[in-house]
Amino acid sequence: MSVKEQFCLRSIPKPLWDWLEDTAHARRLNINEVIVEFLDSVRSSSPDPLLFEPAPKLIQSSPKSIPFRFIDLFAGIGGFRLALSKLGGECVFTSEWDKFSQKTYASFYGDMPHGDINEVDPESIPDHDILAAGFPCQPFSIAGVSKKQSLGQAHGFQCERQGNLFFRICDIVDVKRPPVLMLENVKNLRSHDKGKTWAIIKQELESRDYVVNAEIIDACYWVPQHRERFIIVCFDKHVFGDSVNFEYPDLSGRTKPKFREILEEKPDDKYILTDHLWNYLQQYAAKHKAKGNGFGFGMTDLDGISRTISARYYKDGSEILIPRGKGKNPRRLTIVEAARLMGFGELVTTREDMPVSDTQAYKQFGNAVVPAVVKAVGEKVIEVMQDHHRQATNGCFLKGRADAQVIELKHVPKKSSRKKPAKQSPKSMKAKSTKRSELQNA
């Protein structure tokens, strides 16, 4: 037999080798013939067969990455999508309930997200390597909690509309068992309800055999904005083991960008504050200053960084005002500048690139995650995945298409007795709900 007719099958994990032997025995073929038949089915499945999934056309991926699949939950306008696609990821499922954010997401990436995640059967979600989710932060944010308290409304997990959506993530994790979870929320999540909220979240993740990492990261090292967010990264112990060599990005010595770098040369005059609004903001700030409060507008240092842009920016723009010179009313950010401030500048180069009104655009940017932060953390996640793959399979991937279905041959842990969760009965679901209520009231 010539070299051309031979296969070199080194470092194949035992479960995969057992599968090859069982398949060969069942079909009365030798292993070489099984592999040839498989490759031939891939070749004949389409006119232009590919062993590897093509990278997204819109976003250029990093040459140092590896192919992986991810889902984007509570997607907003796709901060996770933009970042993970650059790292070589393929988004296989998206969920976002807000119709205006759906419109922007579709405009950016060409995919219309699924709606309410509560109405999606977890079993129908494609298999994936990373579950990414910026679950709703309003029930936990300082501003959100203050507003709900002033209105006599529940906050945190007691917020029926948004507070319990973390547990929907848990439902999906139970069914799909992604190796990696990347979650994002506001800084206040860690201290909300005297730390009880974070304790519950951490307990829920650890009880599912995930190694949990969490850190507050300020986006000011990537964009000229003070924006602290709680970034949670979890690794499945059944895949990576109990000890995972993961570290968040090292920010020491990193130069912060300047606010003036995101400004347009000729902004539209419509963004200049009217005399009435400018007088109101000055009087409001003076009144609270006299009371010893810190409430007021934020006049931005052009050579520094701005305050955090929030979803309420559309109201008056007071948290980030741009000086125009002595004796002139300041202005608010243009839509293009807001996009740059949040790290979406490559997708929004003109006002026409945002398919929604100014009001909706400001809300969407105020609720978004900064893609550059996700990318920086994602690079560290990829390092862990690459290291694991080198140890587990000597760096070899076998990924292809057969009968229009993607086939992925994944490493299977040597000792994993974990079974796929059975379909829950109404009785078990009721018990689960009771457990959650007990945790929430703890």
Phi, psi dihedrals of residue 328, rounded to the nearest 5°: -115, 140
Of 123, 124, 132, 134, the C-alpha closest to 174 is 123
Tell the CATH superfamily of the 259-367 domain: DNA Methylase, subunit A, domain 2 (3.90.120.10)
Under the banding of pLDDT at 50, 70 and 90, the label for residue 290 is: confident
* Residue 209 to residue 248: CA distance in whole angstroms: 21
Q: What is the mean pLDDT of residues 366-394?
A: 89
Among all residues, which ones are annotated catalytic? 137
Residue, of 34 and 432, whose pLDDT is higher: 34
Average pLDDT, the chain: 82
Residue 308 sits at φ, ψ, to 5 deg, of -75, 130
CATH of 68-256+370-393+411-440, one of 3.40.640.10, 3.30.365.10, 3.40.50.150, 3.40.50.300: 3.40.50.150
pLDDT at 285 over 60: yes
Pick the residue with more confidence: 428 or 307? 307
pLDDT of 158 above 70: no
How far from 99 is each of 312, 360, 374, CA to CA, in Å? 18, 10, 24
Higher pLDDT, 177 or 403: 177
The residue extents of the domains of the chain are 3-44, 68-256+370-393+411-440, 259-367
Which are the contacts of 58, defined by CB distance < 8 A and separation ≥ 6?
85, 108, 109, 110
Average pLDDT, integer, range 331-345 = 98
User: For residue 408, what pLDDT is reported?
Assistant: 37
Answering whether pTM is above 0.75, one says no
Tally Cβ neighbours within 10 Å of residue 410.
17
Who wins on pLDDT, 62 or 270?
270
The yes-or-no verdict on residue 85 having pLDDT over 70 is yes
Topology alike, domains 68-256+370-393+411-440 and 259-367: no
- Least confident span in 3-17, 303-317, 399-413: 399-413
Which band of pLDDT confidence, cut at 50, 70 and 90, is reported for residue 5? Answer: low
